[in-house]
Chains A and B, each alone.
Chain A
Amino acid sequence: MDFELTEEQVLLGATVRDLLARAYDQESRLKTLETESGWSREVWSQLAELGVLGLSFDEEDGGAGAGPVETMVVLEELGRRQAPEPLLDAVLLPGGLVRAVGTAEQRQRILPEVAGGARLLAFAHDEPGSRWPDTEVAVTAVADGSGFRLSGVKNPVAHGDCADELVVSAVLPTGGTGLFLVAATAEGVRRTPYRTYDERRGAQIDFESAPAELLGGPEAGDASGAIAAAIVAAQASLNAEAVGAMTEALRLTSEYLKTRKQFGVTLSKFQALTHRAADMYVSLELARSMSYYATAALADGVTDPMIASRAKLQVDRSGRHIGQEAVQMHGGIGITTEYPVSHYVARLTAIGRTFGSDLEHLRLLADRVAGYGLAEL
């Protein structure tokens, strides 16, 4: 058993950390968030040059063939700096599906461009009223010559506003759920972009007989298993990002307690506050342990929704605890946008409601709790 990172993995984390530290100070980050896309094409190119965008793709698909641990390391750094670049939404999740389900031709057509930063994907899966772990989709696909046409509504689609190409789940004419490639500019595709409360971007996407290509070719069947596995991997990525965000939120809070004076002394003289900061540390370490657990399982080739829920339940609870306490201990400054801690809290809040909240993960675990005696790793 081993929970240490290799030298290469540590170096990867440090390199991404340096890049993001150079790319963003508080002011430039705020400016970037105000732009239409909400993130920086320039930083995106730098991440591409560094090989970060293609990290998890196979070498023949233009990637580095790295695994879940490397992904975790990078996401933790993005979370620590709250870099708004859509690595998970535009690359890892939809790209992972192309990698898992796509034909060799589709992979080679799409993935090298994604790894190079030239093409952005988005995973259009959620539908109005749906909620993890729903797998039923209502968007339909009808055969049309060698291709298909999709109709229905997807919302929310994370970073669907900027995607060049959409990976869309839809009901196959033969039943089951298929995955389709749809050009974002295709006729019959209407996008309604919006901002989210964690300062990211999203879109509703309406399909009206939009032309689509079946991912995996004409022989492809039901992709529900691949979708479930991709979501398990996405949950692990969100956990890692949340751990990075929590680490920084706690660091900012500790710094604040050491410097901010009230009643003539620093806040760190008040045990009522330092003990709460200690509890934040406990929450952080428990979340980190679970993030490592979920990632190590993925690295072993295990995509178990129970493990994913165990990890995300803890991460969501820790994220809520740390976020709320960080704001409270900062006082008024903690709820301003010009001070960074509010951004960490908003993002942790959104992560805690993406691909299942603590309520839903706890329900899944509770439903199965009678099925075994001792809980074992």
Chain B
Amino acid sequence: MKLALSPEEVAFRDDLNRFYRTEIPQEIRDKVQYGLDLTRDDVVTSHKILNDAGLAVPRWPVEWGGKNWTPMQLHLWEDELQLASVPDPLTFNANMIGPVIAQFGSPELKQRFLPATAALDIWWCQGFSEPDAGSDLASLRTTAVRDGDSYIVNGQKIWTTMAQWADWIFCLVRTDPNAPKRQAGISLVLFDVKTPGVTIRPIKLIDGRHEVNEVFFENVRVPADQLVGEENQGWTYAKFLLGNERTGITAVGRTKVRLAVAKEYAAQAKSGKSTLLDDPRFAARLAGIENELLALELTLLRVVANSSEGRPNPASSVLKMRGSELQQAATELLLDIAGPDALPVGGAETASPDWAQRTGPSYLNFRKTTIYGGSSEVQRTIIASTILGL
């Protein structure tokens, strides 16, 4: 049992730390640190700088830009990125469709899509959820019917994150409505969101912003060579993809930064004759959240330090569940520090500071974290069945 990193790991970490803090523009990192909205250009700029340095897709196979790093190196790469407030490489590209194509795609598909996906020359979005298929994803109804060299896609997707900025969509479709099991008749297809018949409609969220969309398909013609892997094997690919998604949502580094920012603000916020940070009840709440975060970080490190290559660890459900809850706890803390100053939104001419005005929408937006990527209830079911055998 050893807490310390090896000298090689320390050097590796320090190199990354230096790179992130010197090569990614300060302005972009400030936005991440203080919770401001990123533009599409910010995300692309940051992603491209990472990719040019070989740091955007380290989990991919080496021939497509991956690094063959140890689990600990991958952890340090991600942790330092979060602590330096660098935007994540676009998750739809780096963590979702890229690894699926690399694992299951034909040589032609890999050649055609992987370099552009790694470089974010294509911005992908995810066409999985439907109005009647959320946690119960296998009940999806969007159909794809083979017609010569094409599939004709009809149906509707929902909660499609950043579809308004996307170039292409990776989409689960039902290709065999008569399959004996619902999971068996599903395929994964790729297509340009500008294909005729695709309509993207924004959904305004609880925080007043535009982040997700409904996407409608009406006789969308998709060339058959844009099918990933084999027809009717899409469920396998989706499970592979979602397994990658879950571990990425822990966000310990991001929550740490958010708590550090909370301390900055709390040290300036008046409370009685002193500051909020000096209020023992507030300090106890902050210390409590911080301690739970530390326990989660150590749990993450246990998974990382002892993980065998490629084997999904059931503890990843613990990480997803607690990680998302602590993200919420941190945004709630910030909202409480802001107090009444959180009420105005976009009130540039008011006395309420900008940061305080952002805390309400941010708190409300983060309600999503225990819902997406497998809700907390789904994670509990996974723990109960796969770990406890219930």
- Give residues in A with beta carbon < 8 Å to B: 1-5, 69, 250, 254, 257-258, 268, 271, 274-275, 277-279, 281-282, 285-287, 289-290, 292-293, 295-297, 299-300, 310, 313-314, 362-363, 365-367, 369-370, 373-375, 377
Question: Does B301 lie at the interface of the complex (its beta carbon under 8 Å from any beta carbon of A)?
Answer: yes
Cβ of B381 and Cβ of A278 under 8 Å apart? yes
Cβ of A3 and Cβ of B305 under 8 Å apart? yes
Cβ of A2 and Cβ of B2 under 8 Å apart? yes
Residue of A nearest to B298 (CB): A289
Residue of B nearest to A72 (CB): B1
Cβ of B306 and Cβ of A4 under 8 Å apart? yes
> What band does the interface of chain B fall in when counting residues whose beta carbon is under 8 Å from A?
35 or more
Cβ of A32 to closest chain B Cβ, rounded Å: 31
Cβ of B315 and Cβ of A285 under 8 Å apart? yes
Cβ of A377 and Cβ of B299 under 8 Å apart? no
Set of chain A residues within 8 Å of B1, measured between Cβ atoms? 2-5, 69, 292, 295-296, 299
Set of chain B residues within 8 Å of A287, measured between Cβ atoms? 295
Question: Does B14 lie at the interface of the complex (its beta carbon under 8 Å from any beta carbon of A)?
Answer: no
Set of chain A residues within 8 Å of B259, measured between Cβ atoms? 374-375
Cβ of B302 and Cβ of A375 under 8 Å apart? no
Cβ of B247 to closest chain A Cβ, rounded Å: 15
Interface residue from B3, B267, B287, B288 paired with A293 (Cβ < 8 Å):
B3
9 contacts between A and B (CB under 8 A): A1-B2, A1-B9, A275-B384, A279-B380, A289-B298, A292-B302, A313-B288, A362-B288, A367-B283
Q: How would you classify the secondary structure of chain B's contact residues: helix, strand, loop or mixed?
A: helix
Interface residue from B72, B278, B383, B384 paired with A370 (Cβ < 8 Å):
B278
Question: Does B284 lie at the interface of the complex (its beta carbon under 8 Å from any beta carbon of A)?
Answer: yes
Contact status of A374 and B4, CB under 8 A, knowing A277-B390, A289-B302, A293-B298: no
CA distance A79 to B280 in the complex (A): 34
Question: Does B83 lie at the interface of the complex (its beta carbon under 8 Å from any beta carbon of A)?
Answer: yes
Cβ of A278 and Cβ of B288 under 8 Å apart? no
How many residue pairs between the two chains, A and B, have CB atoms under 8 Å in the bound complex?
148
Cβ of A370 and Cβ of B302 under 8 Å apart? no
Cβ of A310 and Cβ of B291 under 8 Å apart? yes
Set of chain A residues within 8 Å of B388, measured between Cβ atoms? 250, 254, 274, 277-278, 281
8 Å CB contacts to A: which residues of B288-302? 288, 290-299, 301-302
8 Å CB contacts to A: which residues of B333-390? 377, 379-381, 383-385, 387-390
Set of chain A residues within 8 Å of B321, measured between Cβ atoms? 282
Cβ of B322 and Cβ of A286 under 8 Å apart? yes
Cβ of B371 to closest chain A Cβ, rounded Å: 16
CA distance A282 to B317 in the complex (A): 9
Set of chain B residues within 8 Å of A250, measured between Cβ atoms? 388
Cβ of B207 to closest chain A Cβ, rounded Å: 26
